[in-house]
Amino acid sequence: MAELDDTPPQPLRLKIMAALNALPVSVGLEFSRLKKLTGATDGNLGAHIETLAKAGYVSVDKAFVGKKPQTTVTATAAGRGAFARHVATLQEIIAGKQV
């Protein structure tokens, strides 16, 4: 059986990666939008984004819009690849191709 990557499968990280992978390449989501989509708290979402960033699956851009900080998270090529492999492995398991 193909190995599932341990980084994305955690439910919140999977939600983050699914949301980012639904976007065109190089397009990210603001932290506040990810928070609303996932239902996570600031601290929990931040910790999981940090884990994904350390794995090289997302890039994090911090900027200021006026006087307000704005964090944008974007899936990297490595993150998109890992997510696609994870989904493909799950599809194989569901189809009964892996025993």
Q: Which residues contact 45 (CB under 8 A, 6 or more apart)?
A: 12, 16, 31, 34, 35, 38
> pTM here?
0.85
| pLDDT, tens digit, 9 for 90 and up, residues 26-47 | 999 999 999 999 999 999 999 9
| pLDDT, tens digit, 9 for 90 and up, residues 57-90 | 999 999 998 999 999 999 999 999 999 998 998 8
Number of other residues whose CB lies within 10 A of the CB of residue 52: 26
